[in-house]
Structure 1
Amino acid sequence: MSNAWNEGYFTDEGYTYSYSREINPVFLRYCLLLRGFASLETTEGYHCELGFGQGVSINIHAAANPGSWVGTDFHPGQAAHANALATAWGSDAQLYDDSFEQLLARHDLPQFDSISLHGIWTWVSRDNQKLIVEFARRHLKPGGLLYISYNCFPGWSPLAPLRHLFSLHDRFGTNRSESPDQRIDAALQFSEALLAANPNYAASAPNLNAKLQSIKGQDRQYVAHEYFNRDWNCMYFTDVVEALAPAKLDFATTAVPLDTVDPLNLSAEGMDFLEGIDHPIVREQARDYFVNQNFRRDVYVRGANRLSASEQRQGMFNTRFVLLQAADSVSDTVKGPAGEASLQAEVYGPVLEALAASGYMPKTLRQLSGAVPSMSYDDLVQAITVLVGMNVAAPCQSEAAEKLVQARCSTLNLQLCKRSLLSNKIQVLASPVTGGGVPVSRFQQLFLISIKQGKKHPAEWAQLAWSIISDQGEGLLKDGNALTTAEENIAELTEQAEAFAGKSLVILKALGIL
């Protein structure tokens, strides 16, 4: 049912319980440092997330970063979920269900070190976009950063008409009493039938049917919010630059570390062409044509200050890094718009070995440089950048900041693990080391509960996990097939528990989670 308060936003289906690392201030400061920009880092700052969804990211970042958090999501059900989780671990985060207009009217908000909005900008009205800009103008500190993600052209050009069909059918072609899933399926079936009738549009946009089939297989919560809102304002990069200018915001970089590795993104001809463009905004927009960009993750700064080469080098040397998975399980290839590239064993082998040394504990780039003295500074930075870009390594906050948030991360993680007793909705825990979330599956959270209870053997962890899920009438899948007997399920859980003990526990300890 449509409500006046939802302003055309699809609120009949709640958003997913996903986590976004790009909102993590530690990660964003690293992205700025990588491109040579200064950023604010305090132990008493304020941060804001606009449109926090179910509140997973904002709760994790509120626990894992010093300072305080404010956020809003105008969907009351999602705000209620976010607040319930915040209350459970004793957070002081201020989480509202205000619209952007209501939030802007508040007189009790501080000046923020960072403001983030992930997956919001494209899906709200132009009036709401103006309110977001005005909020940043009033409440972002000089030197503060703004993270924004959005759908963009030219990559969306072939699919925009298809997305319009979905939304149009949902508004006018379905029975509003049907469930959200039924309405979504009806819109997808209508669009599939239209394409099957061979309109000229389909001939001008190759692979449309393959894309539609991919959408049909996606999580319905995600599909609802991605494709079925009334407002959908896809823009070019330069449109967003102009929209944010009244808030005195300068584009600094993307929150995609792999963007700094040109061979992964551009052909030799593309690199040569872009090298000839002096204006940074024109060059960035032209780059979107070469990679056919359809979604951007951008970092803006209110008063961007460039670091000198020596200041940037010093900042990188002082930054700690940590692996998020076992060194021997890291893929030996990485993908980018220009194709797939192999990670050279002679380069990445020693770096991974150095990161894994001493029980995977975090190490500064200076320490890594000492461990692989034959590697040049530029090669080492690129190797670390690629590993962070692949999300198998992460930059860390200072040890002082880590100590400040250790206790509250432990409290939040205990609450998240307790939730795993009943559901698999949230499969991430908070790391005081990285200031962000780390993927930890439901079963792994159940194993952690067993460890907290003093059980030392993987077989015992598996037994506890099985006792919980079997009581709920659930079971495991293996190779796509349901395991039907208790023995089969326990054997699979034991195998997973042994792998968890052999590879994951040491990493979770290094991340401050265990």
Structure 2
Amino acid sequence: MRANWSDGYFTEVGYTHGYYRELSPALQRYCLLLRGIAPLQSESPAHCELGFGQGVSINVHAATTPGVFVGTDFNPEQAASAINFAQAAGSQARLYDNSFAELLARDDLPQFDSISLHGIWSWISHENRQIIVEFVKKYLKPGGSLYVSYNCLPGWSHAAPLRHLFAMHDRFVGSSERSATDRVGDAIGFATQLLAAKPKYAAATPGLDERLKQIAGQDRHYLAHEYFNGEWHIGYFTDVVDALADAKVEYAGPAQPIDGMDALHIGSEGIAFLNKITNPTMREQARDYFVNQQFRRDLFVRGARRLSAAERQAALLAQRFALVVPANKVTWTVQVGGGSAELNQAIYKPVVDVLASNAYAPKSLREIVDILESASISAVQATEAVTVLVGMGVVSPCQTDAETSTRRKSAQKLNESLLQHAFYHENIAVLASPVTGGALNVDRISKLFLLARINKHKDIVAFAWSALAASNQRLKKGDTVLQTAEENIADLRDRFQVYEQELLPLLKAHAIF
């Protein structure tokens, strides 16, 4: 049953425990630099997340990034869980279960350097979107940034009717006696049967069957929130620009570096066409047609301070970067525009090798450029490679040593809590890095190995197996589930060797232990 405080937002099951790096102030600052916009440098930084879900992202950022963090999620169960992690970290994050209207009405909030909302804009009412605009207008500092992600047209044109089928089935057929996740499955089954009956809609929409199969394979909790909200709105980029205009913010660029690299997404003919468009808003909207954009991750700025080309280059060269995956896990294929592109290993592998050198210590772009000069890799090539690797999520911009130092303790306390959580649960797959002000993906088994190491257990593998056995979890080798304790322990020993050789040095470089 829908809670009466939800304003149409789906609350019958909790949201997923994902980490969203686009919410990281450090990554947002880098993305602004790429677009030639000076990030706000504040003596008293403060950041806000509206609708933080399970609170994984805001807790990681509050523990790893200097400043005050404020957030709200009007689901009290999610807020309570997030507050528990914040208290464990000692980050002083101020987390509430206020509605957006209640948060707007508070009189104890600071002015914010950044305000972020991920997975909110498309799934709330017009009234709540207006409240968010008022909140940004009231609380975002001049020079501050706003991050908004949302579903959009034209990419959703072919699949929006599919979502309507799901919602219609749940409204008219869904039984309150069945769980929310079961009702999601029922609705998918109904849509599958409808398409199998060969309606003209399916014939006119190539790839619809494949899209439905993809949806059917996704996490049911995610699908409930994505498709079953009472509010679900799809519009164009220009609609969002217009809606936010009253907050005095302007579009700055994508919050994912790779999203703004036209050459990776659009053919030469399309780029030539777009380059004839002088109005930046019109160009960006037209660009969505070339990439068939269905989900946008946008940064807006309240009073952009434009950098000269020389200022931008100097700032980028001073920026430090670090690998956030083991070097041997970097792939040489990047997913773009509904397809993939092969990276030039003659350029990209030396960049990765430099970043992996000296035990994964962070390197400035200037250091990378200088080292690679002897390999006949130009500064332009090295800069582009780093940008793409950041966009792929295998490299992250780093904070300064001073920023890392101030957050090392709270990050480690949060990580201790996340490691303890992993003994019983596998729903959070990250640990916090004060080096990047973000997170590293770390699976449950690796967390158990690290927890055993920190607690000085003599047999780390036996400790990990005790946690898996307690939750009745068994490992898989290929497609085979390992049934006996002996088989699982043997597999854990193999995994432990890989963990020690590949992941442990990376975790150490990120001050995770």
User: Are the aligned partners of 1:142 and 1:302 in contact in 2 as well (CA < 8 Å)?
Assistant: yes
Residue 80 of structure 1 aligns to a residue whose secondary structure is helix
Which amino acid in structure 2 is aligned with residue 461 of structure 1?
A: I
- Cα distance in 1, alignment partners of residues 338 and 232 from structure 2: 29
- Cα distance in 2, alignment partners of residues 394 and 95 from structure 1: 26
Counterpart of 2:221 in structure 1 is 221
- Cα distance in 2, alignment partners of residues 298 and 25 from structure 1: 14
The reply on whether 1:475 has 2:483 as its aligned counterpart is no
- Cα distance in 1, alignment partners of residues 221 and 125 from structure 2: 21
The reply on whether 1:399 has 2:401 as its aligned counterpart is yes
| Equivalence map 1:251-400=2 (5 Å) | 251-337=251-337, 339-373=339-373, 374-400=376-402
Which amino acid in structure 2 is aligned with residue 439 of structure 1?
A: N
Which amino acid in structure 1 is aligned with residue 275 of structure 2?
A: E
Shift of the alpha carbon at 1:324? Answer: 1.2
User: Are the aligned partners of 1:60 and 1:430 in contact in 2 as well (CA < 8 Å)?
Assistant: yes
- Cα distance in 1, alignment partners of residues 338 and 159 from structure 2: 21
- Cα distance in 1, alignment partners of residues 322 and 446 from structure 2: 20
Greater mean deviation of Cα atoms: 502-511 or 367-376: 367-376
- Cα distance in 1, alignment partners of residues 338 and 465 from structure 2: 45
User: Are the aligned partners of 1:264 and 1:339 in contact in 2 as well (CA < 8 Å)?
Assistant: no
Q: For each residue in 1:328-356, what CA deviation from the matched residue of structure 2 results, as whole angstroms up to 9, or x when unmatched?
A: 32112212117422221221122111111
Give the alignment's Cα RMSD to 1 decimal: 1.3
User: Are the aligned partners of 1:277 and 1:283 in contact in 2 as well (CA < 8 Å)?
Assistant: yes
Shift of the alpha carbon at 1:454? Answer: 3.0
User: Are the aligned partners of 1:32 and 1:39 in contact in 2 as well (CA < 8 Å)?
Assistant: yes
Q: For each residue in 1:59-88, what CA deviation from the matched residue of structure 2 results, as whole angstroms up to 9, or x when unmatched?
A: 110000001111110111111111111122
Which amino acid in structure 2 is aligned with residue 22 of structure 1?
A: E
- Cα distance in 2, alignment partners of residues 429 and 100 from structure 1: 29
Q: For each residue in 1:448-472, what CA deviation from the matched residue of structure 2 results, as whole angstroms up to 9, or x when unmatched?
A: 112112358xxx3212101221133
Which amino acid in structure 1 is aligned with residue 306 of structure 2?
A: R
Q: For each residue in 1:282-311, what CA deviation from the matched residue of structure 2 results, as whole angstroms up to 9, or x when unmatched?
A: 111011000000000000000011100111
User: Are the aligned partners of 2:46 and 2:111 in contact in 1 as well (CA < 8 Å)?
Assistant: yes
- Cα distance in 2, alignment partners of residues 167 and 41 from structure 1: 45
Greater mean deviation of Cα atoms: 52-61 or 476-485: 476-485
Greater mean deviation of Cα atoms: 234-243 or 207-216: 207-216
- Cα distance in 1, alignment partners of residues 438 and 41 from structure 2: 15
Counterpart of 1:236 in structure 2 is 236
- Cα distance in 2, alignment partners of residues 441 and 349 from structure 1: 25
Shift of the alpha carbon at 1:316? Answer: 0.5
User: Are the aligned partners of 2:253 and 2:260 in contact in 1 as well (CA < 8 Å)?
Assistant: no
- Cα distance in 2, alignment partners of residues 349 and 410 from structure 1: 31
- Cα distance in 2, alignment partners of residues 41 and 497 from structure 1: 42
| Equivalence map 1:55-70=2 (5 Å) | 55-70=55-70
Which amino acid in structure 2 is aligned with residue 161 of structure 1?
A: P
Shift of the alpha carbon at 1:105? Answer: 1.0
Shift of the alpha carbon at 1:42? Answer: 3.6
Residue 115 of structure 1 aligns to a residue whose secondary structure is strand
Q: For each residue in 1:251-305, what CA deviation from the matched residue of structure 2 results, as whole angstroms up to 9, or x when unmatched?
A: 0000121123322100111111111111111111011000000000000000011
The reply on whether 1:452 has 2:457 as its aligned counterpart is no
The reply on whether 1:421 has 2:420 as its aligned counterpart is no
- Cα distance in 2, alignment partners of residues 503 and 166 from structure 1: 43
User: Are the aligned partners of 1:263 and 1:338 in contact in 2 as well (CA < 8 Å)?
Assistant: no
User: Are the aligned partners of 2:325 and 2:440 in contact in 1 as well (CA < 8 Å)?
Assistant: no
- Cα distance in 2, alignment partners of residues 474 and 330 from structure 1: 29
Residue 142 of structure 1 aligns to a residue whose secondary structure is strand
Which 5+ residue runs of structure 1 have no aligned equivalent?
A: none
Q: For each residue in 1:203-250, what CA deviation from the matched residue of structure 2 results, as whole angstroms up to 9, or x when unmatched?
A: 221121221121111101100000000111111000000000000000
Which amino acid in structure 1 is aligned with residue 441 of structure 2?
A: P
Residue 334 of structure 2 aligns to a residue whose secondary structure is strand
- Cα distance in 2, alignment partners of residues 204 and 472 from structure 1: 47
User: Normalization by structure 1: what TM-score?
Assistant: 0.97
